[in-house]
Structure 1
Amino acid sequence: MEKIVISVVGPTAIGKTKLAIQIAQHYNAEIVSADSRQFFKEMCIGTAVPEKEELKAATHHFIQNKSILDSYSVGDFEKEALDTIHKLHKENSIVVLVGGSGLYVDAVTKGLDKFPKIDQSIRENLNILLKSKGIKELQEQLKELDPQYYAKVDVENPHRIIRALEVCIGSGKPYSSFITNKKNNRPFNTITIGITADREIIYDKINKRVDIMIKNGLVEEVKSLERYKHLNALQTVGYKELFLFLNEEWTLDFAISEIKKNTRRFAKRQQTWFKKNKETIWVKYDYNPEDLFPIIDYELNTKQNV
């Protein structure tokens, strides 16, 4: 039978894990996570890692399998994920891919664009600039060197900003000029299921999730990682805001409000990214699985009989 990857996407807090588990159980499949924040074992509460019961409900791969001290890129993930999917496909024609990190999902289903090799010293200098002058300095540089990429990148993510800038500086060409969107051949077909909801519902889910994270000990988790706050893995929503609280630059209430605001902004960017895929089958957040599975079965029959 034709090998299939069922990819579950959507904004944060929308219920991707729940749907991925339902699909995995229905087809006796295993799950590959493409959530770049959930790779790190030191980050649990702030990344909404699946609960123990959820991890028991279906076998997951790439959940807390790395350390924040490890050097791990999207290219590394692409290779490891494809190797894992290849092994899983030997036992089952279906594998479930789930995650809100659009770049990581695309790395598996489409492949990465090829970029020129860049002198390591450029990145080192940009990291020094980040520490000395802050992210706004880097944002302004990128806006000038590559306004096209600046318009769509997560400008609050220093790792993405630095990656784009090092290519701009090292090659003398805009980072966006290397993005071809040319799909690489994959030994499987992909069915993408996207979960959606009205903006007010998504924002409400995000706000409630942040409140639960705080109640479950997010401040304590961030405090335990404070000495590592310079690492790229920790330059992310939920952690960077609380580092400012711990440094007594912000009050706790303000830090929490900023986490909610920045997570809502992130969700908006996720939706923009995922909506670029015109083949996605969109379902409402309150879908009925009994209505959804016949749709997936139809797609499976179509893909497997090509």
Structure 2
Amino acid sequence: MSRKPKIIVLAGSTAVGKTAFAIGLAKALDGEIIGADSMQIYRHMDIGTAKPTRQERAQVPHHLIDIRNPDEPFDASQYVREARRAVGEVIHRRKVPLVVGGTGLYIKALLGGIFRLDTVDGRIRERLRRSLDSEGVDALYERLKGCDPETAGRLQPNDTYRILRALEIFEATGMPITDHQQEHRFQDAPYRSFTLGLRMDRDALYDRINRRVDAMVAEGFPREVRNLLDRGYSEDLKSMQSIGYRHMVDVIRNRSTLEEAVDVMKRDTRRYAKRQMTWFKADPHVLWMAPSQNRAATDVIERFLHSPGADHP
């Protein structure tokens, strides 16, 4: 019988209703929520990340929210260290760890470890940097689509860091990063996990996304972004290039009207939600439910928590 601790994962696309669902689960299971969102880690970025409100966080303990400033680097390996520490603390308190978020890479790394290749030839990195300077990120993204279309399909075309990293690994090893990750999968799996996914009809989700973007603007999202710029955070930061923030920067810099920016933000958020669902649907172990099935979710998770067998009930 495995002695690995059990954790619950709640995944799903943006705007599907994870926050409210997770709070209900945590209350029913006597659990604590551990964030798995690459943007909610940042302080001062609240509205645009749809961060749980102070009132929501007061209902159950939350971890891995507001742990970095917007100009501090943070990647999946750092997330794993922080999340595993938080999981250990929650278990020590005899509570149920509930990992909640839409950043699939963070969840995958937490459950199965993260592929590391630290010995890329510096000459490869320098050559790719020169290509970036001379050709631009669009050309490198097209190159990545040719050698590793699966990774390219998961990345934003302007995600310079990850595009360069994927190309580095391909040029150094002759294999796409996805192949390395598959070979490494679950070599470092410290938990017995149960993953629940939330989903809804696409049209309903897209309507929720559109309404949420409108609500963000009404709540003061442009002012939040202006405050970040006034604090000295550059618009070129990785955090400031994320969906919503880059759109509001364009408004503040007079590169776009608010109406235009909102329309593009809605479109980009819908596309992001589609990529998230593609990622999570690739995992055959996810149990999918609608946001209205909180009671059924609680029942099936309780069976998992009290069962001595395999990962899923």
Asked if these proteins are the same fold (TM beyond 0.5), I'd say yes
Distance 2:297 2:150 in 1: 37
Partner of 1:301: 306
| Contact 1:115-1:178 within 8 A present in 2 as well | no
Q: Which residue of 1 aligns with 2:295?
A: 290
**Does structure 1 residue 247 correspond to structure 2 residue 253?**
yes
Matches of residues 75-224 of structure 1 in structure 2 within 5 Å? 75-92=77-94, 94-118=96-120, 134-171=136-173, 173-180=175-182, 182-224=185-227
**How far apart in 2 are the matches of 1:210 and 1:268?**
16
Identity of aligned residues (%): 32
1:34–1:99 Cα contact (<8 Å) kept: yes
User: Do structure 1's residue 24 and structure 2's residue 26 form an aligned pair?
Assistant: yes
The farther-off stretch of 290-299 and 97-106 is: 290-299
State TM-score, norm by structure 2. 0.88
91-100 vs 117-126, which deviates more?
Answer: 117-126
Q: Secondary structure at the match of 2:31?
A: coil
Q: Match for 2:196: what amino acid?
A: I
Which one is further off, 291-300 or 171-180?
171-180
After the TM superposition, which segments of 4 or more aligned residues of structure 1 sit over 4 Å from their partners?
119-134, 169-173, 303-306
Contact 1:6 1:95 in 2 (8 A): yes
- Seen in structure 2, the aligned counterparts of structure 1 residues 163 and 223 have a Cα distance that, compared at 3 Å, is farther
Q: Does 1:238 align with 2:244?
A: yes
**CA distance in structure 1 between the partners assigned to 2:66 and 2:133 by the alignment:** 27
What are the ranges of 5 or more consecutive residues in structure 1 without an aligned counterpart? none
For 2:259 and 2:141, locate their aligned partners in 1 and report how far apart those are by CA, in whole Å: 27
Pairing 1:225–2:228 present: yes
What are the equivalent positions in structure 2 for 1:236-275 lying under 5 Å apart? Answer: 236-275=242-281
Question: Residue type matched to 1:149 in 2?
Answer: T
Secondary structure of 1:142's counterpart equals: helix
Letter in 2 for 1:272: T
Q: 1:39 aligns with which of 18, 38, 41?
A: 41
In 1, Cα distance between equivalents of 2:217 and 2:122:
38
Q: Distance in 1 between matches of 2:137 and 2:205?
A: 28
Superposed displacement of residue 18, structure 1: 1.2
1:46 alignment partner, SS class: coil
SS in structure 2 at match of 1:30: strand
CA RMSD of aligned residues (A): 2.5
Structure 1 residues 96 and 302, CA gap change in structure 2 (3 angstroms): same
User: 1:270 corresponds to which letter in structure 2?
Assistant: Q
**Residue 34 (structure 1) shift:** 0.6
- C-alpha distance in 2 between matches for 1:196 and 1:100: 12
Flag the 1:119–1:56 CA change in 2: closer, same or farther, 3 A: farther
